[in-house]
Structure 1
Amino acid sequence: MRRRPTLFLLAALVPALLAGCTAGPSQRPAVVENDEPVASAPASTSQAVPLPPLTEPKSPSVQWTDCDQQTRAALDPPAVPDSLKFSCADVLSVLDAPDLPGRAQTHIALLKAGTGPIPLVVLNDIDGEPGTLYAAHLAATLPASVLQRFSLIGMDRRGTGDSDATACVPSDVRGQLLSQDPATTDVETVLDAARKAGQQCAIELGSTQQALDSWRTAGDLDEVRDQLGVPKLNAIARGEASSVLTAYSNRFSTHVGRFVLDGIPDPSSDPATVLGELATAQQATLDAFGKATGQDATSTVTALLGQLRSAPPELSNGVPFAPGVALNAILTGLAAPARWPELAEAIRAAQSGNPTQLAKFVAPMLNGSPLAPSRFDGALATLCNDTATRMPANQIGTLTDKLRAQSPLFGGLVTQRLSWCLPWPGPADGMPSLGVSGLPPVLVTSTATDPVTPASGTNRAAGQMSSAVRVSWQGTGHGAMSSACVGEAVRGFLVDGTVPTDGTLCPA
């Protein structure tokens, strides 16, 4: 993917984690209907507001150029079929910094996969693959009939990928944040690194620091919709990127088309609940990985982290391959079951003293250069701008001790982001509501064992949405699109306008 220089000096523009998901064939029925009531869900308006009709573009202004080879070179594993072809473009959107509303511009990068006549915009987690690259992978996963009707339009969210990517965290500070040992009781060390990161980003970004959030990204989306030439936005968002479509529903409700939210962040305001369930989901995913690879994965990973505490090898960039880096790398791999064989081999190599393979899983977050900025910086800014939660250091320490007792491996990892955001200013705008009325049906999918957006949190979010229709996959990994059953439900929803029965269950 070609890189563009930042348009404005201070506009070098950023929760979640990870990528991928697959599952083996199942002998169970294709779909099971769930007739259990959801007590917390408000009355559905899906019958009152039908799905909007699909409309082909009129007078689009986006200029596409071939970028097939560049895209394939930039993709994370797995590879995509040669039959898919990719083209790229960018649009100008309003940066909309708090002190310069409606002024200054920023580039938003797009990638088109497929040749269907109707645009279907694709967004990914802020710290995962950029939306352009995720769209390329998703195009290889969805039923072929979806690409006959739609072209997938991947969008790099502001501050990420080729969308004027943010690069404001010093490399050594980034390494300190990602290297923090999840077993340590020393909160001050990570807080000190977080302060350095926040200070440097405040200096380099100025007021544009608070322009990196989901609310303003929704404005980018509407600019993309307008330039694509369609009256309604049709879109798929995975994981934390669902927050962008939620913001879009708040700001541009009359432009909402057919939305698929593949996992939604937990809307609960109780960090102990949200992070406790996240650590539990991560441990459950590790257990599933161990079962699939024929090992006691918890013992293996625990032993590896102990080995790294005694003698952490140094990576080529000078960052020690410490327990925090290793566990972040493992978690990235766990989220993508298609990469589990690769992850198992990488763990074995790390046990033998060679961390190179395992480090590749976390390299896009850890490393950065002018041509390939780290995914960490933009993700940190967006994460901290999107949440109002700010806990005092002593409360973070208390919560960490509690969650570490419940989940020895992951309890100390999930609370680290609370420390990362503590020095940052709170959100410049109010958080968007999930309960927007008058929307057409919104398809919400979840995965039973998701280490990034656990199903429990997605269900809580869907319960606050008057138009949500839930399809749950009884599988493992981040996102449900690799399930053939979910893929068929998504196909029917997007292509045929068929709204599934709320509470539909798809077997693993």
Structure 2
Amino acid sequence: MNGIGDRAEGHVPEGRDAQLAGGRRSARAVIAGLLLAVATLLAGCTVGPSQRPPVAVRGEHMPVPPASAPPPVAAPVPLPVPQPGFPTIEFRDCTGTLATAVPTPADRVLRVGCALLTVEADPAQPGLSRTRIGLMRVGLADAPADRPPLLVVGDSATRPSATGAAILAGQVPVELLQRYTLVGIDRRGAGIDDLDCGPAVARSAFVNIDPGGDGSLTALNALLEQARQVVQDCYLVHAGALSGYRTASTAWDIEQARAALGVTQMSAIGVGDGATALSTWARTHPAAAGRLVLDGPPNAALDEPDAAEARAAAAESAFDAFAAACAAEPTCPLGADPRAAVSAFVGRLRAQPITATDGRRLTAGMTVTALLTGLSEPAGWPDLAAALGQAQSGVPDALISRLVPLVTRGGEFDIALATDCNDVQRRMTPAEVGDLTRRWRTAYPLFGATMAQRLLACGPWPTASPAPVPDPGTQLPPVLVIGTAHDPRGPLENSRRVASETPGALFLSWQGGGTGAYPRTPCVVAAVGTVLVAGRLPLDGTLCPP
């Protein structure tokens, strides 16, 4: 049994034995080094992501790596603290004038004060003349005199801002009124500064635009002639000051109001093109901007005809929301398909208008105009549907009465027209409008032809170069911008674009309808309260349900 094994273990020469022993030690060292390198490599793989292909490993018994520290969160940008107001103008008590006009909930007692602010008739032409605009201060009856003001700037196509502030005071949470006193500022041409210069015949011509018009030049030239009458008559009354009725002038008025209210930084909320005016003011005076909310601002960069087409598309969307809300009720006066019912009714009126008991006639154009004005206020949609239903039954009185504010003295037609025409630059010819009428009548069945023909209202209107809006840089505090999915004054994307172009703005979208989302829904109320009352920023990109 002493073969090869015996020789290997016991008969190796002494020098050979030392050599083999050294070789074994060297091999063990190499293996140990390799194992150490592999261990180091494996340990390194647990540190972070690798660009190498993943390796399948059974890791049930491997130690859990320590949790990495969360990335540092940037401190929220602080919002300005509302400042006490020390007005330099006198507010006289006018609570009694609104006691019955503005409903007030049982949880609050309001006190109303009225004042007049003297401003340049046209800020672009200082020294030309001066005019006055109304301010209305509305707050809790037991509020201290220096409670911080919250300026309210309304849309030129809806109710005057001053009255709007009083209505808002009856709708907002009491917590807002415990933080602020609302101050409404009238838009130029509304309230005390009543713009009343357009001939009644011309107003009626634009209210009665044929929604099924084929764009014939004869009809369009006649409409353009009515527009010339408006411009001629208004210039006879107001001369060069007529150019002062524009959104940029309202921005100038906001700065005068801030100074008159005695604050160095002012919080405010603007609706529709009132939000545009507020944005312009804030960009021009960023150091004076407090906590701001822009509710439904249109894209002011759009010129005609793009702006009119955006309104046509928005009006169709708003009507769909109105129709869905009506059809959801078992007693909807317009039946299961309100769009089909209204479209058929407008078609009937084109052939045969309906006469009211007092002799007034309801035309197809008046019906479409009543829709365009009524869609801005969802709270009035049930009454609008009821008026349409009555008119379908041959009783048009309620629907005709809805148009009185447009065509009577002190109404809304002249100021809306002047603001729209002064805010845009391009003037359309009858031939261009005819082409748009034919195309939009198909693309936007209820409102397209009307929106196209309305472009002629600004045809004779003088144009002025728009004032550049400065870049506020980092001086402007964060601003909350709200967009409404079914706003007849402009599409949601317009407001989203305003937010994207405003430094530090946060955007909130509401899937409801009407002009102005606040305070129509708890979700929007909570977000606005976060900004105005708590002084914190809501989550950017918040989506509020209908």
Question: Does the pair score TM above 0.5?
Answer: yes
Deviation of 1:314 after TM superposition, in Å, equals: 5.2
Shift of 1:467: 2.3
* Structure of higher RCO (CA pairs closer than 8 Å, 6+ residues apart): 1
Q: Which moved more, 1:287-296 or 1:454-463?
A: 287-296
* SS of equivalent to 1:173: helix
TM-score computed with the length of structure 2 as normaliser: 0.78
Measure, in 2, the Cα distance between the counterparts of 1:409 and 1:267: 25
Among candidates 97, 107, 114, match of residue 122 of structure 2: 97
Match of 2:79 among 21, 36, 51: 51
Instruction: Could you tell me which runs of 5 or more consecutive residues in structure 2 were left unpaired when the two chains were aligned.
Output: 1-73, 328-335
The alpha-carbon deviation at position 315 of structure 1 amounts to 6.5
| Partner residue, 2:226 | 193
Whole-Å separation in 1 of the counterparts to 2:204 and 2:383:
24
* Cα 1:250/1:502, change in 2 over 3 Å: same
Separation in 2, partners of 1:392, 1:398: 10
Return the alpha-carbon distance in structure 1 between the equivalents of residues 249 and 122 of structure 2.
9
2:160 aligns with one of 113, 126, 130 = 130
**Quick one: percent identity of the two aligned structures?**
36
Secondary structure (helix, strand or coil) at the match of 1:496 reads coil
Partner in structure 2 of residue 414 of structure 1: 451
> Is the alpha carbon distance of 1:52 and 1:168 closer, same or farther for their aligned partners in structure 2, counting shifts above 3 Å?
same
Q: CA deviation at 1:285?
A: 2.2
Deviations 1:394-449 (A, max 9, x none): 22222222221111111112223421111101135425368765311111011112
Structure 2 residue 497 is the aligned partner of structure 1 residue 460: yes
Structure 1 counterpart SS, 2:136: strand
The aligned residue for residue 4 of structure 1 is: none
The residue correspondences of 1:146-225 to structure 2 (distance < 5 A) are 146-162=176-192, 164-184=193-213, 185=215, 186-225=219-258
Q: Contact 1:365/1:374 (CA < 8 Å) preserved in 2?
A: yes
Judged with a 3 Å threshold, the aligned counterparts in structure 2 of structure 1 residues 432 and 394 are, in CA distance, closer, same or farther, namely farther
Correspondence for 1:445 among 458, 461, 482: 482
CA distance, structure 1, for counterparts of residue 487 and residue 314 of structure 2: 6
Bigger mean CA deviation after superposition, 354-363 or 454-463: 354-363
Quote the offset at 1:455 in angstroms.
0.5
Quickly say closer, same or farther: Cα 1:480–1:97, change in 2 above 3 A.
closer
Cα separation, 1, equivalents of 2:253 and 2:149: 15
Equivalent AA in structure 1 for residue 200 of structure 2:
S
1:404 equivalenced with 2:441 (yes/no): yes
Q: Using a 3 Å threshold, how does the CA distance of structure 1 residues 182 and 387 change in structure 2: closer, same or farther? A: same
Give RMSD over aligned pairs.
2.5
Structure 1, unaligned stretches of length 5 or more? 1-45
Shift of 1:74: 5.2
Query: Which amino acid is the alignment partner of residue 187 of structure 2?
Result: R
Q: Classify the secondary structure of the residue corresponding to 2:134.
A: strand
* 1-structure distance, mates of 2:340, 2:472: 43
Deviation at 1:268, TM superposition (A): 4.7
In the other structure, the counterpart of 1:290 is 323
Q: With structure 1 as the length reference, what TM-score do the two structures score?
A: 0.83
Could you tell me whether the CA contact under 8 Å between 2:311 and 2:489 is conserved in 1?
Answer: yes
Distance 1:476 1:74, change over 3 A: same
Q: What is the aligned partner in structure 2 of residue 141 from structure 1?
A: 171
Question: What is the aligned counterpart of 1:85 among 110, 128, 146?
Answer: 110
Q: Deviations over 1:4-41 (max 9, x none)?
A: xxxxxxxxxxxxxxxxxxxxxxxxxxxxxxxxxxxxxx
- Give the 3-state SS of the residue equivalent to 1:307 in structure 2: helix
Corresponding residue for residue 112 of structure 1: 137
Q: Which residue of 2 aligns with 1:42?
A: none
1:474 alignment counterpart: 511
Q: Could you say which residue in structure 1 is the equivalent of 2:528? A: 490
Q: Could you tell me which amino acid in structure 2 is paired with residue 172 of structure 1?
A: V
Q: Does the 8 Å contact 1:92/1:105 carry over to 2? A: no
1:88–1:109 Cα contact (<8 Å) kept:
no
What amino acid is the match of 1:126? S
1:338 matched to 2:379: yes
In 2, Cα distance between equivalents of 1:84 and 1:410 = 42
SS in 2 for 1:158: coil
